[in-house]
Each structure stands twice: as C-alpha cells, then as structure tokens.
Structure 1
Amino acid sequence: MTEKPLLPARMFDPWPRIPVDTSEGSDFHRLDRIAGNAATGWALGPEGAYAQNLTLAEVVDGAVREALLHLLELGLIDIDSQRMHAAPGWPTHRERTTP
C-alpha cells in the first residue's frame, strides 16, 4: 500500500492526495466494479431509487452508502478512524487530477 501523506495542519489547507492506478485490471478498477454493482443493485431493488421515487441527491447518497457498506462488509476496504479523527477537517469536493 502507498504511504499516506501527512494530514494538513489546518482546516482548508491543501489535502495531499495519494496516487491511484485506475487503469483497467487494476485493484481500483475491480473495486469500482464491485461497488458499482452493489450500488446499481440497490438503485434497481425494492428499497432503491426507482421504488421510492427519490431525488437525485437521495439516489447518490443511497448508492454511495450501499457501495461503501458492501466493500466494508467484504473486508476489501478499511476505515482509518485514527486519521479521520485526527484531521482538522475534510475536503468535501474531490480535486480533479485526471480528465
């Protein structure tokens, strides 16, 4: 695993990013497919977006929640609680570094 960069010292300081290989066949690509299938299954299922006539924001929140929960339950990702609680804040928008 890639070494994690130090957390920013203050809220709103730049948050260093970890490089991620997103190419086809990479570990990220495989996780993306697993999470995407879980999210799609939720959206199309009896508790999902189509059945409940949800807003776009509710669809996104539900799909992300389902995908993350699925990956966590499978043990494929972990929550770094120590890092999360040590941070002075978290960026809520992803910086686009790739087209």
Structure 2
Amino acid sequence: MTSKPPLPARMFDPWPRIPIDTATGSDFFHLDRIAGDAATRWALGPEGAYAQNLTLAEVVDGAVREALLHLLELGLIDIDSDRLNAAPGLPMHRERTNS
C-alpha cells in the first residue's frame, strides 16, 4: 500500500494525491467493476433512478452511495476516520490526475 501524503495545512489547500494503478487487472480495476455493478443494479432496481424518475444529481448521489456502501460492507475499503477528522477541510473538488 502507498503511504498517505500529509494533510493540507489550511482549509481549501489542495490535497496531495496518491498515485493509483488503474490498468486492467489492477486492484482498482476490480473495485471499479464491483462498485459499478452495485451502482448499476441500484439504478435499474425497484428503488433506483428509473423507478423514481430522479434528477441527474440524485442519480449520481444514489449510485455513488450504493457503490461505496457495497465496498464498505464487503470490507474491501475502510474509512480512515482519524485522517478525515484531522483535516482542516474536506476535498470537495477534485483536480484531474494522470491516473
């Protein structure tokens, strides 16, 4: 596992990014497929986007929520609560990376 870079010193400072291998067959590739399947099944299911005629923003929020819940419930990802709570702010805007 890659070590985590230090948290930003001030609110709104950029968060340093960790390089991620997104190649076919990588760990990310497998998690992406699992999360994508969970999100798609939610969207097409009886409580999902099509059944509820949701807005695009609601679809995105619901799909991301379902995908994260699925990965967390499987124990494939963990929330670093200490890091999350120690940060001076949350990184709400993502800058593009090469990953």
Q: TM-score, normalised by structure 1?
A: 0.97
SS of the aligned residue for 1:59 comes to helix
Uncovered stretches (5+) of structure 2, i.e. residues with no partner? none
State the partner residue of 2:31: 31
CA distance in 2, matches of 1:91, 1:33: 24
Q: Percentage identity across aligned positions?
A: 84
For 1:85 and 1:93, how far apart are their aligned partners in 2?
Answer: 18
Deviations 1:61-86 (A, max 9, x none): 00000000000000000000000000
Greater relative contact order: 1 or 2 (C-alpha under 8 angstroms, separation 6 or more)?
2
Structure 1 unpaired stretches of 5+:
none
Partner of 2:70 in structure 1? 70
CA RMSD of aligned residues (A): 1.0
The one-letter code matched in structure 2 to 1:39 is A
Q: Does 1:9 align with 2:18?
A: no
Structure 2 counterpart of 1:31, which letter?
A: L
Residue aligning to 2:81: 81
Aligned residue for 1:30, secondary structure, equals helix
Kindly report structure 1 stretches of 4+ aligned residues shifted beyond 3 Å. none
Paired with 1:97 and 1:68, the residues of 2 have a C-alpha distance of 21
Deviations 1:1-60 (A, max 9, x none): 110011011001121110000011000000000000000000000000000000000000
Q: Aligned-pair distance for 1:91?
A: 1.6
AA aligned to 2:89 is G
Question: Which amino acid is the alignment partner of residue 69 of structure 1?
Answer: L
